[in-house]
Structures are given as C-alpha cells and as structure tokens.
Amino acid sequence: MQITEIGQSNTIAIMNSDPNSDDSDGDGVLDAEDGRPWVVNRMINYLVVGQDRPGESPIDDCADYYEELLKKKHMPRYRLEISTGNEFYYLWSRLDSYHGDLESEELLPRYSIVDNLIIVCHGSSEILDFGQTALSNKMIHDDDLNIDFNDPMILGDYQKIHINVIDLQACNCANEDSEYGKYNIAHELCANLDVETVYAWDTECKFSTLLDMNYYEDSDSDGYVKYTKTSSEPNRVPNVDEHRTILLFFVSWCYNPVTPKIHSLLSSEG
C-alpha cells in the first residue's frame, strides 16, 4: 500500500462519469455518447461568416455587429469564418458537438439545441455564397424541386440537433421572384429541416456602419421576412421590424433599417 506523507501528493485518475449512472449529469445524453458527462448539455449559438469581395467589408462589419450583440447578451457562441460550401457542411454535421476545431475527430454531443445559427454572406434566393464555393438549395431535401437525392450534401440527412432560429444575413434568400418561386432558401430550410424559425431578406440588404445594422432600400419588397413552421407549409410573415428607434424612424423615409432577431437570452457558459 502506498502511503502519502504530509506535504507530499499523489496523482490519481479523474473519473469521467458516475459509475452508478448511465447519464451522470442527467441531461438525457448517455455517458457513452456525452461529450461532457459531468456538464449538462446546453444551447449554443453559431455565427457563420463568409468572405467579403476584395476591397469591401459589409460581411465582416455585419458579423462584428452580431458578435458584439451576442457578447453583450452573454450568449455562448462560436464565430467561424468560412469560404466554401464544404466547410459549411462540415460544421452542419457537427452542430451538436463543435468545440472550436472544424477538423476535430471528437463528435460526441455537447449541446442540446442550437439557439441561433446566424449566417452572414452573399446570397440569392437559391445560393448562399461563402466566397470560393457556394451552398445551393440543392443541398436541401425537397421533393418539389426534383433534387438529386444521391447528392451527399443534402442537409436534412445530416442534421443531428434541433435549431431554434436560422438568421440568413444575405441578400434575397427570402425572395420569391426567381424561377423557383416561393421555394427560396429560407422557405426550404424551414419546410424541410428541424428548424423552428428562419429569418431572411426579400431584397438586397446592406450593412450600415453609421446605423450599425442592416437595412434595405426596396420599399416594394417584404423586407426582412420571418418563416415559421406550420403543419403543412411554412408561414411567411413579411417585414418583421418591431424594434425601430427614433433615429431609425427618422431615416426610414429613404431606408428601412432592421434590427437582428436574437432568439433568447442565455447566461455565459464561462
């Protein structure tokens, strides 16, 4: 038997879980699958940022604004700068287990729900453009669009975790004027994935460093649109903009500024 004298110390093994329980932290994920068996899996927020065009910075400016907002609200978050659809796909398949390294082999669950997945990039009604390569709505599971279901990038097949909000800070992702009609990216995400709400733009949006927020100029559009799940079709709510300040109201004769929608308040994970 080894005896520890006063003033000395021994290193002992640290238990990773409670040997008497299958789910040591009681968060519903069994220890064998739980990325943190002693920490209750919580919600997480992601800020996914594409690349600006050379000499421009609206993507970065908008992402900085969202990051500050998440910080102020003490919401746990990851910001990822990406440039390809492949990188988005890798993150998408790791939304429940991501902890700072896209290439990590450890894929055990750490989060119970994604609260906000905010995507800032260039876009259209059919494409999220991250800079080098894009994510098209062909990666979204949808019978109506005659999608090639052999496409390995179909998002629905690889979603592992519920998402409360997807916020698409990209131009035209809710626009219904393309050849796909109402089946724009925002509609498709809401209709086909385990997502509660999708926010997106029915027009071009621009980021103003003066106003510190996105705005749009096309008064004929529905502006910043909200899609929510219903039993059959996603319910589209036009021009969701309930938080204008006096300044913003003053300039709204020419611009239509919109504040971001952060789904819920969380305390910091520390």
Question: How many Å apart are CA 101 and CA 111, to the nearest integer?
Answer: 15
Question: How many Å apart are CA 63 and CA 50, to the nearest integer?
Answer: 9
CB-nearer residue toward Ca ion: 36 or 236: 36
User: Least distance in Å: CB of 196 to Ca ion?
Assistant: 23
- Asked if 18 is part of the footprint of Ca ion (rule: CB under 5 A), the reply reads no
Q: Which stretch binds Ca ion (CB under 5 A): 23-31, 44-52, 113-121, 209-217?
A: 23-31
User: Least distance in Å: CB of 27 to Ca ion?
Assistant: 4
CB-nearer residue toward Ca ion: 30 or 145: 30
Residue with smallest beta-carbon separation from Ca ion: 34
Per-residue interface string for the shown chain with Ca ion, residues 161-200, x marking contact by CB under 5 A: ----------------------------------------
Nearest of 169, 142, 175 to residue 67 by alpha carbon: 169
CB-nearer residue toward Ca ion: 16 or 235: 16
Q: Which stretch binds Ca ion (CB under 5 A): 15-23, 57-65, 92-100, 162-170?
A: 15-23
Per-residue interface string for the shown chain with Ca ion, residues 24-63, x marking contact by CB under 5 A: -x-x-x----x-x--x-x----------------------
Residue 108: other Cβ atoms inside 10 A: 15
CB-nearer residue toward Ca ion: 36 or 94: 36
User: Least distance in Å: CB of 133 to Ca ion?
Assistant: 35
What are the residues whose beta carbons fall under 8 Å from the beta carbon of 136, sequence distance 6 or more? 85, 126, 127, 128
For residues 221-249, one letter each, b for 16 or more C-beta atoms within 10 angstroms of the residue's C-beta and e for the rest, the string is bbbbbbbebeeeebebeeebbeeeeeebe
Question: How many Å apart are CA 134 and CA 50, to the nearest integer?
Answer: 10
Among 18, 23, 67, 212, which residue sits at the site for Ca ion (rule: CB under 5 A)? Answer: 23
Tokens of 16: 């990773």
204 near 58, Cβ under 8 Å? no
227 near 197, Cβ under 8 Å? yes
Strands 235-237, 163-169: pairing kind: unpaired
206 near 191, Cβ under 8 Å? no
How many residues touch Ca ion under the rule CB under 5 A: the total is 8
User: Least distance in Å: CB of 92 to Ca ion?
Assistant: 21
Contacts to Ca ion by CB under 5 A = 23, 25, 27, 29, 34, 36, 39, 41
